[in-house]
Every structure is written in structure tokens, then in C-alpha cells.
Amino acid sequence: MRIELAVNGIECVGDVEGRTLLSGFLRDGLGLTGTHVGCDTSQCGACVVHVDGVAVKSCTMFALEADGCSVETIEGQAAADGTLNAIQQAFQDHHGLQCGFCTPGMVMSAAALLKENPEPTEAEVRAYLEGNLCRCTGYHNIVRAILAASGQDVSAIAAE
Amino acid sequence: MPKDSGIGASSKRREDVRFLSGTGNYTDDINRPGQAYVHFLRSDVAHGRLGAVDTTAAAAMPGVVRIFTGADFEGVGSIPCGWQVTDRFGEPMQEPTHPVLAQGKVRHVGDPIAAVVAETYEQARDAAEAIEVEIEELPAVVDMKAALADGATKVHEDLTSNLCYDWGFIEDNRDSVDAAIKGAAHVTVLDLVNQRMVANPMEPRVAVGDYDRGTGDHTLYTTSQNPHVIRLLMGAFVLGIPEHKLRVVAPDVGGGFGTKIFHYAEEAFCTFAAKAVNRPVKWTSSRSEAFMSDAHGRDHVTRIELALDADNNFVAIRTDTLANMGAYLSTFAPSVPSYLHGTLMAGNYKTPNIYVNVRAVFTNTVPVDAYRGAGRPEATFQLERVIDKAARELGVDPIALRRQNFVTEFPYATPVAVEYDTGDYNATMDKLEQIADLAGFPERRKASEAKGKLRGLGVNCYIEACGLAPSNLAGQLGARAGLYESATVRVNATGGLVVMTGSHSHGQGHETAFPQVVAEMIGIPEDMIEIVHGDTAKVPMGMGTYGSRSLAVGGSAIVRATEKIINKAKKIAAHLLEAAEADIELKEGAFSVAGTDKSVAWGDVTLAAYVPHNYPLDDIEPGLEETAFYDPANFTYPAGAYGCEVEVDPETGKVTIERFSAADDFGNIVNPMIVSGQVHGGIGQGIGQALLEHCVYDEDGQLLSASYMDYAMPRADDVPFYAVDHSCATPCTHNPLGVKGCGEAGAIGSPPAVVNAVIDALQSGGKDVTHIDMPLSPARVWAALNG
């Protein structure tokens, strides 16, 4: 079945099965392999993208359901010249990633959080990340990075 | 002033740019032209005799290329085990065969029976459902004690029993330890379970097999921590492919924690099938498959006895452990409960008599192997728990009891066969008392009690052995591999360097940290140095990344190779400067003649090496490329003190981690930011083990925790910010960087701190609870409070 959607501002056309997940379409159909799949029960959050501005686990949605939508993925977050956006840069500055596998989902969830709550508390960040698993960082530096990306001073939180 | 580059600088990670922009290259991102997809039909029973496997209907399904069963692997080798343990009677362990696809029997839920290769993944999966399998179900062996009982069903009928080995360490000390315990003033006994865990790197395993008929070359792309080990094991023992015709590539690896060390059947299958169907064959594990096919971790049942004299000095330790091997022997499984566990039983303490007995047991469960810490967390947990219990029984302060028994003089030869080269356990305990503000605990407890909560403090120490390992020693202990590491440093004509290392990052930031070392040695910017790893076609034979060995062993190989580069470059510089080689100094990227202002830049020397017009061709060859293999003289011994404060809700049994502090001695530090991150991650996993995670089988061998619906992974709101410190540094005495390794410490040191804290909280509430087995779920804590 034919779908048309905008991905990172680019109009795309795809031919998908009814059962094709949006995550699979992005990865295999469009070659946008930055969106990762870490589970099959919609719990790890590595596949979070934005659909019409809302954070969605792209493995919980059929590609067909994205027909006519505007989708943003991790590949569309940096500037055209490759300059990282504020959240991405904060993740690098504060060592908010190690293996990098959960990172695309973390960045996309963080962007959604800061859109609805521009200056979250630590507890609000932790609660919001309930649907994003990371096995490497113990979450310490992810939470710091998101607080820093929101413009808050994190220097009092032990870094090293 | 913190440095801004080189050793000791918190250089930002260069690999982050691609990971943050979605341009990393993980194995599942690799697609080969014309590739087919494989789906494995896996056993849904724990133990059964395999009858007919009828693939007729499935083979006729759309898109099916070929279906493989165990019969297709007659004559193909067994998945090998890389470590042979000798039991306490001098006999080799029992070692079963492990076919790529099940032959004759299935032995755990998830054991692969057939493999469907099809045009698409969905078609492979659809066709697998149409395969008809006859299985005569047999009684499942799940509980380890039952597995060892007389008349127990055997997992492997060709073995004499379900006992893999009965190991005593050190066997000659068995009687003297018994005597020491008999004569002791006090003996504390603790029975505990170190529960089965699943490593759960966020990236599931993937394998892509590729074969070129024109050249006869095989390539395997795989999610591995050690591609050369896979090449050797799979090539030599399973498929009979010589190493020069087999390339193994592990690109960006999305976490491992041990579970991506091992050689798995799916890797051998994809490599084999690619040749058989003459197309690339790709397998991507689902998370549910990962739970039933990735090697699991821990799963020990232990009794530990700690004997003390009348002055509370430790006089003896005796342990008796059952260790689950699962249905087959995974690559390094036999070494984990034996040499990676027994050798650490002395901990940070001078106990003169120690005896460790471990019986390794086959059961109808997924194989168990190394998981972050591998044997050392199990040793640390039982030791630090029994010390806390002893302190309570004796009415003494648990920190004071530890300090009284610390090893304080180095080198220290333990009664369990290792020699600690250096350390200062009082220093890390002092540091912990400071960063954890232990003095403020009574006030914080009062505040918790005012809210109706119980508050507890748990403190413990740990020591571990990293930097695996002196090859000759490992060989004596049964390793079937060397444990050196390799590095090639290639200097280009214009001065940039490529460092090819046998270590392989799966999140540790090698691409950033290793250049810091080389930049420091030569005095050039870090961005002149590039790291190449994870590809057997590019990198000299190396042993990979596990056991916190990459900097201590791999980094040392890089130092040795760089030293050779510098020595040769000095000869070239001496020629260019018309000076004696002995007078040449290298500083900040320039060679100068001592005591003069004559100098030549790094780039001039590297150019001369490749454009040798004015060059000492009679003395040295052109070019500037050197290789070193570094085999360590000893293990390294990171150590530290950890502290945890918990609140327990007496109404629900829910435990909340309020504070967690870690004071570690990792020796010298190359990148403090990365080191802290490693400790954070280890603590997160340790808290996960202590409070949340548990891989559970029912009595029929059904895996009950086979997804994130049932296996509780730690989430952001399960953990606090951690206070970590690694300023107490006693540099390793035997490697050139003085480093010890930091990758596993957090996971080793944290579980006992959490459990000690919860027991302390319950005791403060007047409940005489001495132990609760992990995970300390609300149900278990509530039951202990109300029992």
C-alpha cells in the first residue's frame, strides 16, 4: 500500500505492507537507521520519533498510520551543516551517552519533554524518561544533560 | 587546572557526534546486496527428544529460500568452550557438545531447532510457523540441587551426571580451613542466592553472513566485543574456515556487558548459510529472542562461613557454591564461578585461611556466562554481606570491623593464589566517609523516621581483578586462549596516526581515550590520531574488550607500539639534525638536540620516513609503522568503598535509593569523565540487581521473564544522582600507564551496599532480619517486615 509522508521536511513515498511498523519503514524503507529498535514490547524507547510534533514510539505505530503525517527523526535534529542542536550538544558535553544505541530515542524524548516543560525538575526528567531504557549510563549523565539543555545550572551535580 | 588534552583530560567523546546524529553504524544498519533473512524456530519446551521435523509445507511458503535443520549440520563442529576447568580430583570438567541447530534433543526454551532463510524477514517468520516438529517432552531439570540428586534426569545423556565440575580452591587447604573454622571464637554463616540476570545491552544481537564465491572469502558482521575471538572459535572449531579466508567485522556495538563476548550458534549459522545459499544471510534478534538465547549471568547459590578470633580478626573463610551453567557451556562459562570468583574471595582483607568449593551444574536453562563483573560480583556480594552479618552478631561497627582486617601492606599474596600489587583501602574508606557524609546519616535517619519511613545505611568494600590476564597463568588455569592485546601504530607521511587496536569499544569511548594516550606521548593534538578497531581484516590479532582490560592491556600495547615509533623517529631526527641519537629529545611534537636550539618538527620526521631522500637508509628502513603485543605481568586490582542510603516504606516494602556514593581506586586516570560514566553505569546495573532484576524459570523450565514486561530493567526514576570519586589513586605497578580498569567496579561494588542498607533499615525498625535475597522487591521486603 502506498503512503506519502514528510520525513525531516522531505516528502517521501513508500510502498508498505499493512503490518509494516513505522520503525521498520524508516529503517528499511528509507534507510534512516538512526531510529533504533531495542525491544518488541514498546518499552525501551530507542525508536522514539516525533509524528506531527508528538513523541511516538515508532514501533507502536504502523507505517500506514503515518500516511500524510510529518515525521521528525534523529537524523533531522542537527543543522544542515552538521552542527548539533542544543540537546544533542548537551548530551556530548555531559557524557549523556556511551554505546549510543538508546541515544536517538533519548534525544527525541528529551526534545518532547522540553517542548512541553521548558524547565523541568530532576524528578520531572526522571519521570518523563520512564519509557526510555538506557543500560550504560545509570541515567546520571542523561538527566544532567537534559537539565543542562533546559538552561539550568548543573555544576553542583557531581560530574567526575 | 584540569588538563584540556592528553592523559588526565576529560576530552569530549568524538564518537558521540555520529551517535547523536543518527549516523552510527551498528550491525543491524548493515545490509548486503541480495541479502536474505533468517528466522530461527526455537524450542518452546525446556527438555525434549526431537522427532521428525517436517519442513515440507513451510518450504512451499512464499519467499522461502531454504530451510535448515540439525541434519544440515552433521559433520559441522560443536560450538566450543574456551576454558577447561580441572576439578578438585584432578579430572577435567564434563564438556557436552553444542550443535549449531539442535540434534536429537532440545535442552532449553529457545534452543534453535530449524532456521528458515527467506526473501524477507516476515516471510521467514511466517514459514517457520508452518514447520511441524515432533518433540517427546522430557522432565526438565531446573533446580540445581535437584539436578545433582541421584537419579536426576540428565541434560546430556552422554555425560555421567549433571555435574560439570566440583572445584576446590585451593584444594590442599581444605583441611586446614576446616580446622581453623573449628577452632574459631565466632563463626558467622550466611546462605544466599545471587540471582540469574540477563545482561540486556540495548542493542540486540545481529549477525550478517556474506560469502564471495569468486574468492572463497567469508565475512561475518556481528555484534561482538572481540571479533578475533569469534574468528578463531568459529573458523577453527565450528566451520573449518582458515583465518585468512574469514573476516569478522564488529562495527559500532550497542553495549555488551559480557554477553557479546561469546561465540553464538547464530553467528555460525549465518556464516554457514551464506555459502550454502550463495547469498548474504542476516539475522536480527528480537528482544524476546535475546532473553532466551543471549547467555545469562550470575545464578549462584552459596553458603559462606566467616570465622573470627576473639579479637574479631578474620581467621578463615569457607564457601560452598552451586553455579548454574545452563544447558551448554558458553564460551567462558566454566571460568566465571571458578577462577574469576574464587581468586577474589580474600576481598580487601587479610584472612589467612580460605577455601572455595564450587559445583557447576547443567540445567535445562539458557547457558550462563560472564555478565559485568563475572564472578567478582558474586565473590564480593557474599563476602561483604557476611561481614555485615558478623558485625551485627558481634555488636561492632561494620566499618571498623572492615578497617581492622584490611590488607595494608603491598604486595600482598592472598591465600587464593593472587598477588595484589598495590592499594590503600583505608584511603578509599576515608574518602567514602567524606563524600557520602556518613557523619550526617543519623540526622537524615531522624528526618526519614519523622515521615514514617525506615532509613538504612549500607557500606562495603570491593576488590576485583582486571586486565585479563597473564597468558601463561591463564593457560595454567585452563584458558584455551592467550590474553595479550595488540596494537599497530601507523604514522602517515604528513604526521597523522592511525592506531589499530585489538580492543573493541562497545560504549567505553576508546576512540577518544586511546588518542589521549598517544597524544600525550608524542605531544601532538588528539585529533591527529584515529582509532581503528573491530575488524579482523584491519587489526592485528587481538583478544577484545571484557574484564575491564582495554586500557590496562590494550592501552599498554598502544604505549609499547608508540614507544617503538618514537625510538625510530628519534633515529630519523638525529640524522636530520646531524646529532647523536642519545641527545634527541621529543617534546610537544618536536625533536630537539638537548642543550641547543636545533629542532625538527614531528611532521618533518614523518615525511622523511616516507620520502627518504635524506635518510639513514644504511641503518633503518623507510616508513614509520610499528606493532606491539602486550602480555600483562599480573592482573590489576581496582578497589574501593561504596555507601548506600535507602528509605523503606514499612507500609509497602518499597525501597528507595536516597544516596549512593562510590570511592574508587583505579590507579591513574586517562579520561575522568569517561571513568565516572563507567562507574555510574555499573552502579545502575548493581542497583538493578539489588532491587529489580530477576530472570525466572518455572519448575517446567519455562522462562517467565522473557520480555521487558516481566524483567524489570532499572529506569531513570529508580536511581538517584551518584557521588563518585576516584582521587585515591595507587597506580598499578606493572603496566606502563599505571592504570587498573574501571568498567565493572560499579556493578561489583553496589549490590552489597544496597542490601546492607535495607537490612540496616529493617533492623532500625526493630525487625531482626539478617538477610533478604535479591531482588529486594517490595513483596520480599514487606514479607520480611511482616514475617
Confidence at residue A158, expressed as pLDDT on a 0 to 100 scale: 67
Could you tell me the pLDDT band of residue B1, with boundaries at 50, 70 and 90? Answer: low
* Residue bearing cell 575522568: B672
Is beta strand A10-15 parallel, antiparallel or unpaired with respect to A2-7?
antiparallel
> Inter-chain contact A127–B675, Cβ cutoff 8 Å?
no
Q: How far apart are CA B608 and CA B568, in angstroms?
A: 12
Q: Report yes or no on B176 lying in a domain.
A: no
% of chain B at pLDDT higher than 70: 100
Shortest Cα distance, chain A CAs vs residue B277, angstroms: 22
Chain B partners within 8 Å of A93 (Cβ): 12
Q: Report yes or no on A141 lying in a domain.
A: yes
- With a CB-CB cutoff of 8 Å, which residues 286-305 of chain B face chain A? 286-288
Residues A90 and A70 reside in one and the same domain? no
Q: Report yes or no on B350 lying in a domain.
A: no
Chain B partners within 8 Å of A138 (Cβ): 680-685, 687, 714, 719, 722, 746
Q: The domain spanning residue B83 has which CATH number?
A: 3.90.1170.50
In this complex, is the C-beta atom of B719 within 8 Å of any C-beta atom belonging to chain A? yes
Please count the structural domains in chain B.
3
In this complex, is the C-beta atom of B507 within 8 Å of any C-beta atom belonging to chain A? yes
List the grid coordinates of B700. Answer: 517446567
Residues A60 and A101 reside in one and the same domain? no
Residue B488 has pLDDT above 60, yes or no: yes
Residue B31 has pLDDT above 70, yes or no: yes
Residues B68 and B128 reside in one and the same domain? yes
Residues A17 and A70 reside in one and the same domain? yes
| Other Cβ atoms within 10 Å of A37 Cβ, number | 24
Residues A90 and A71 reside in one and the same domain? no
Q: Report yes or no on A8 lying in a domain.
A: yes
Q: Strand order in B105-106's β-sheet?
A: B105-106, B48-54, B132-137
Q: Report yes or no on B606 lying in a domain.
A: yes
Q: The domain spanning residue A96 has which CATH number?
A: 1.10.150.120
Chain A partners within 8 Å of B683 (Cβ): 138
In this complex, is the C-beta atom of B160 within 8 Å of any C-beta atom belonging to chain A? no
Residues B507 and B613 reside in one and the same domain? yes
- With a CB-CB cutoff of 8 Å, which residues 49-68 of chain A face chain B? none
- The residue from A39, A55, A76 where one domain ends is A76
* Residue bearing cell 564488529: B250
Residues B639 and B625 reside in one and the same domain? no
**Out of A93, A127, A133, whose CB is closest to B202?**
A133
Residue B347 has pLDDT above 70, yes or no: yes
Q: Which residues contact B496 (CB under 8 A, 6 or more apart)?
A: B528, B529, B530
The model's pLDDT over A6-64, given as tens digits with 9 standing for 90+, comes to: 999 999 999 999 999 999 999 999 999 999 999 999 999 999 999 999 999 999 999 99
> Inter-chain contact B708–A43, Cβ cutoff 8 Å?
yes
CA–CA distances in Å: residue B77 to residues B72, B282, B417, B480, B503: 12, 21, 35, 17, 27
Q: Report yes or no on A156 lying in a domain.
A: no
Residues A11 and A52 reside in one and the same domain? yes
List the grid coordinates of B585. Answer: 629529545
Residues A55 and A107 reside in one and the same domain? no
The model's pLDDT over B307-339, given as tens digits with 9 standing for 90+, comes to: 999 999 999 999 999 999 999 999 999 999 999
Q: How far apart are CA B295 and CA B292, in angstroms?
A: 8
> Inter-chain contact A101–B26, Cβ cutoff 8 Å?
yes
Residues B211 and B63 reside in one and the same domain? yes
Shortest Cα distance, chain A CAs vs residue B29, angstroms: 6
Residues A12 and A70 reside in one and the same domain? yes
**Out of A19, A101, A136, whose CB is closest to B681?**
A136
Furthest C-alpha separation in chain B: 86
Q: How far apart are CA B715 and CA A128, in angstroms?
A: 10
- The residue ranking higher by pLDDT, B753 or A158, is B753
**Out of B31, B507, B724, whose CB is closest to A136?**
B507
**Out of B22, B201, B721, whose CB is closest to A74?**
B22
In this complex, is the C-beta atom of B506 within 8 Å of any C-beta atom belonging to chain A? yes
Q: What is the mean pLDDT of residues B177-189?
A: 98
| CA closest to B725 among chain A residues | A160
Residue B287 has pLDDT above 80, yes or no: yes
Residues A20 and A44 reside in one and the same domain? yes
Q: How far apart are CA B290 and CA B366, in angstroms?
A: 10
Confidence at residue A52, expressed as pLDDT on a 0 to 100 scale: 98
Chain A partners within 8 Å of B724 (Cβ): 158, 160
Residues B459 and B512 reside in one and the same domain? no
Q: How far apart are CA B437 and CA B435, in angstroms?
A: 5
Q: Report yes or no on B488 lying in a domain.
A: yes
- With a CB-CB cutoff of 8 Å, which residues 167-226 of chain B face chain A? 200-204
The model's pLDDT over B261-277, given as tens digits with 9 standing for 90+, comes to: 999 999 999 999 999 99
In this complex, is the C-beta atom of B228 within 8 Å of any C-beta atom belonging to chain A? no
Confidence at residue B787, expressed as pLDDT on a 0 to 100 scale: 83
Signed CA dihedral, A146, A150, A151, A156: sign only: negative
What is the 3-state secondary structure of A91-144?
A: HHHCCCCCCCCCHHHHHHHHHHHHHHCCCCCHHHHHHHHHHCCCCCCCCHHHHH
In this complex, is the C-beta atom of B76 within 8 Å of any C-beta atom belonging to chain A? no
Residues A98 and A116 reside in one and the same domain? yes
**Out of A74, A101, A137, whose CB is closest to B680?**
A137
Whether B527 and B589 have beta carbons less than 8 Å apart is answered as no
Q: Report yes or no on B533 lying in a domain.
A: yes
Could you tell me the pLDDT band of residue A157, with boundaries at 50, 70 and 90? Answer: confident
Residues B722 and B691 reside in one and the same domain? yes
Please count the structural domains in chain A.
2
Shortest Cα distance, chain A CAs vs residue B654, angstroms: 17
Shortest Cα distance, chain A CAs vs residue B80, angstroms: 28
Chain B partners within 8 Å of A100 (Cβ): 15-16, 18-20, 24, 252, 254, 507
Q: Report yes or no on A81 lying in a domain.
A: no
- The residue from B630, B662, B677 where one domain ends is B630
Q: Report yes or no on A59 lying in a domain.
A: yes
Q: Which of B12, B14, B17, B20 to mutate to test the interface with A (most CBs of A within 10 A)?
A: B20
Q: Which of B3, B19, B123, B225 to mutate to test the interface with A (most CBs of A within 10 A)?
A: B19
> Inter-chain contact B21–A75, Cβ cutoff 8 Å?
yes
Q: What are phi and psi of B298, to 5 degrees?
A: 60, -130
Residues B214 and B123 reside in one and the same domain? yes
Q: Report yes or no on A58 lying in a domain.
A: yes
Chain A partners within 8 Å of B255 (Cβ): 98-99, 101, 135-136
> Inter-chain contact B23–A133, Cβ cutoff 8 Å?
no
> Inter-chain contact A138–B685, Cβ cutoff 8 Å?
yes
Q: Report yes or no on B716 lying in a domain.
A: yes
Shortest Cα distance, chain A CAs vs residue B669, angstroms: 11
> Inter-chain contact A160–B672, Cβ cutoff 8 Å?
yes
> Inter-chain contact A97–B22, Cβ cutoff 8 Å?
no
| Helix (H) and strand (E) counts in chain B | 19, 28
Chain A partners within 8 Å of B21 (Cβ): 34, 74-75, 77-78, 82, 84, 88
Domain of residue A47 covers 2-76
Residue A159 has pLDDT above 70, yes or no: no
Could you tell me the pLDDT band of residue B2, with boundaries at 50, 70 and 90? Answer: confident
Residues B446 and B511 reside in one and the same domain? no
Q: Report yes or no on A63 lying in a domain.
A: yes
**Out of B20, B506, B684, whose CB is closest to A99?**
B506
| CA closest to B255 among chain A residues | A99
List the grid coordinates of B557. Answer: 600495547
Q: Which of A97, A140, A141, A152 to mutate to test the interface with B (most CBs of B within 10 A)?
A: A140
Residues A26 and A49 reside in one and the same domain? yes
Half-sphere exposure of A86 (CA within 13 A, CB side): 12
In this complex, is the C-beta atom of B434 within 8 Å of any C-beta atom belonging to chain A? no
> Inter-chain contact A101–B682, Cβ cutoff 8 Å?
no
Q: The domain spanning residue B555 has which CATH number?
A: 3.30.365.10
Residues B526 and B461 reside in one and the same domain? no
The model's pLDDT over B94-150, given as tens digits with 9 standing for 90+, comes to: 999 999 999 999 999 999 999 999 999 999 999 999 999 999 999 999 999 999 999
Shortest Cα distance, chain B CAs vs residue A130, angstroms: 6
| Rounded-to-10 torsion of CA A153, A159, B3, B6 | -130
List the grid coordinates of B732. Answer: 598499578
Residues B42 and B114 reside in one and the same domain? yes
Q: What are phi and psi of B714, to 5 degrees?
A: -65, 135
Confidence at residue A48, expressed as pLDDT on a 0 to 100 scale: 98
Rounded to the nearest integer, the mean pLDDT of chain B is 97
The model's pLDDT over B386-443, given as tens digits with 9 standing for 90+, comes to: 999 999 999 999 999 999 999 999 999 999 999 999 999 999 999 999 999 999 999 9
Residues B387 and B490 reside in one and the same domain? no
**Out of B17, B255, B684, whose CB is closest to A139?**
B684
- The residue from A56, A76, A96 where one domain ends is A76
- The single-letter DSSP state of residue B380 is H
Chain A partners within 8 Å of B677 (Cβ): 95, 98, 136-137, 140-141
In this complex, is the C-beta atom of B439 within 8 Å of any C-beta atom belonging to chain A? no
Residue A160 has pLDDT above 70, yes or no: no
Domain of residue B503 covers 484-630
- The residue from B607, B630, B653 where one domain ends is B630
Q: Report yes or no on A139 lying in a domain.
A: yes
Residues A91 and A34 reside in one and the same domain? no
The model's pLDDT over B184-234, given as tens digits with 9 standing for 90+, comes to: 999 999 999 999 999 999 999 999 999 999 999 999 999 999 999 999 999
Q: Report yes or no on B316 lying in a domain.
A: no
Q: Report yes or no on B357 lying in a domain.
A: no
Whether B542 and B486 have beta carbons less than 8 Å apart is answered as yes
- With a CB-CB cutoff of 8 Å, which residues 5-24 of chain B face chain A? 10, 12-13, 15-24
**Out of A77, A82, A138, whose CB is closest to B680?**
A138
Q: What is the mean pLDDT of residues B741-751?
A: 97
Q: Which of A44-48, B216-220, B347-351, B467-471 is least confident? A: B467-471
Residues A52 and A99 reside in one and the same domain? no
Q: How far apart are CA B723 and CA B731, in angstroms?
A: 22
Residues B529 and B621 reside in one and the same domain? yes
Chain B partners within 8 Å of A73 (Cβ): 22
Residue B476 has pLDDT above 70, yes or no: yes
> Inter-chain contact B287–A38, Cβ cutoff 8 Å?
yes
